[in-house]
Structure 1
């Protein structure tokens, strides 16, 4: 069935393969591929938008909406514009975001996508995978690999400046992520298609514990979290992701072959950062900033460690719901 499904994909017009990944039972795969796809007619002008980015506007967006993540801001503001300006990159840009839930990994990827393509995640050139939604069944991993490769090839063939976001990589089936290894490598072309101008972003909770321990160590020794450097954590994150029993990067060739350009840590959120999240949410909803309300919502979050209570367990993830309750 896997082979038949792949053949069906190959027989489809190239633009017809540019679809969202489909997860279904083996018996429904071929039927689903035939009946559930959207033909994306791409405008060259739309695709060319992905070659430019307003660095100042991106920086302002980060300052207004992303809090406590100096490393993520620094890496993206340097790496992404530089990559987009390079007319002949040697390989695609691959970023791996690591940290506990609610620290801003998804939000940063959404902001970045929006500044490359105005429609953001709604753009036909920005593609998001969610491991537990699109690849839930371990016994279908070979099918997923075929679909993933064909789907990426179809979209990059239509627009070489495609952005691929893989969420919940720590919950992905082992070995699946290696299916995209050829697309991240230093090949000029694969089957007549160049992948060098694409962007791949991986989001994972893996390494969250190590990042939290590092941040706590800096706090206990009286050092500012802004003093944490990428060199302090990046190598450890790569090793953690590679050796962790949980997640799709376990013994992954993407790490073994050094194909991920940056391992970006997202630090745990302190009380003041949570307040910033609440304040930003209040502004976005058009309400006047009430400091008492902002502090009340921030205080209702759960903090750890048990004694010090420095970092929010859920980051800023439930801020919107708690604010709605009070409003």
Structure 2
């Protein structure tokens, strides 16, 4: 208050010449104004603030985002929605929520992480409370493993101290140096505090292509037995996925203490995408670009994708990863169709 009054005194010429009552009124106004501007509700309209303990995720909004933007992943949507909402609604979780997302490229792992980040922090991946680590960018040199471990611990400690609801996303786990991720084991464990900091409200997400072959094989086995992919349940994949990742030197979690100590809450499988899912991705991309959906363009883009197994050609080998680039080739047709329609 005194600082605000002093600033106002210096900024307003002639203030010293005013009568005592006027000076008192001016100081009072300055104090009130300072108090209003520093009130959290006002301040947080213009500066990103860490969510309070009263902040709750909107389950309906999260489900709507997953339903309309993530295709062919009934398991991932169901598991993540229940896991995150259960975690958020728990006033006193025993440990941070830790999710490990597995599947081939283009199946939606990054997309789901982005949706989740946006629902927790409105700025999403741009939020100062959401932290994305890329193995090949942030941890490129194997001979600096110890330095990376120390930096990672300090980074997580500092950011959780600033915001307990921080989100940490580790992409390219299959390219992570062996042993590096074990450095964060103390933060994921069942401790109330570590060096005076509680990590129990943070969320850690690992993204990996490792285990994709196991998931694809299981999906194909269901197909050959005449079952629908929607019949696949988490119990059909999670056990083989956790064991497969633990024993895979290219997983980033090879013989990891995070798995040994059961600190990863869910191994979330992303199924290979079929032709119909690729077409859904094309339609969504056209809408995102402001185009009217032209089914001829949708089919043309989908037909340029490659599928496996070689004989049956059921699953896209790149998921929806190259849909944007493929659509660029047909963009002139999409634009003409949109203009003609409107």
The TM-score range, normalised by the shorter chain, is 0.7 to 0.9
Q: Does 1:48 pair with 2:51?
A: yes
Give the conservation status (yes or no) of the 8 Å contact 1:49–1:116.
no
Find the counterpart in structure 2 of residue 130 from structure 1: 134
Find the counterpart in structure 2 of residue 211 from structure 1: 215
Work out which of the residue numbers 89, 92, 100 in structure 2 matches 1:88.
92
Q: Could you report, residue by residue, the CA deviation over 1:213-262 in whole angstroms, capped at 9, with x for unpaired residues? A: 01111111110000000000001111011000213100000000000000
The structural deviation recorded for 1:49 is 5.8
Q: Could you report, residue by residue, the CA deviation over 1:142-165 in whole angstroms, capped at 9, with x for unpaired residues? A: 000000000000000000000000
- CA distance in 2 between partners of 1:173 and 1:324 (Å): 36
Provide the aligned C-alpha RMSD in A: 1.3
Work out which of the residue numbers 221, 228, 251 in structure 1 matches 2:225.
221
Tell me whether 106-115 or 81-90 shows the greater mean CA deviation: 81-90
- CA distance in 2 between partners of 1:247 and 1:217 (Å): 23
- CA distance in 1 between partners of 2:118 and 2:52 (Å): 11
Q: TM-score scaled by structure 1? A: 0.86
Q: Which structure 2 segments of 5+ residues have no match? A: 1-42, 332-342
3-state SS in 2 of match to 1:189: coil
Work out which of the residue numbers 230, 234, 244 in structure 2 matches 1:230.
234
Work out which of the residue numbers 102, 107, 110 in structure 2 matches 1:106.
110
Equivalent pairs counted in the alignment come to 286
Find the counterpart in structure 1 of residue 25 from structure 2: none
- CA distance in 1 between partners of 2:249 and 2:197 (Å): 34
For residues 136-175 of structure 1, what are the structure 2 equivalents within 5 Å? 136-175=140-179
3-state SS in 2 of match to 1:48: coil
3-state SS in 1 of match to 2:190: coil
- CA distance in 2 between partners of 1:134 and 1:204 (Å): 16
Give the conservation status (yes or no) of the 8 Å contact 1:297–1:323.
yes
Work out which of the residue numbers 62, 83, 87 in structure 2 matches 1:79.
83
The structural deviation recorded for 1:45 is 7.4
Q: Could you report, residue by residue, the CA deviation over 1:260-298 in whole angstroms, capped at 9, with x for unpaired residues? A: 000000000000000000000011111111011101101
Structure showing greater Rg: 2
- CA distance in 2 between partners of 1:247 and 1:172 (Å): 8
Higher relative contact order, chain-length normalized (CA < 8 Å, sep 6+) = 1
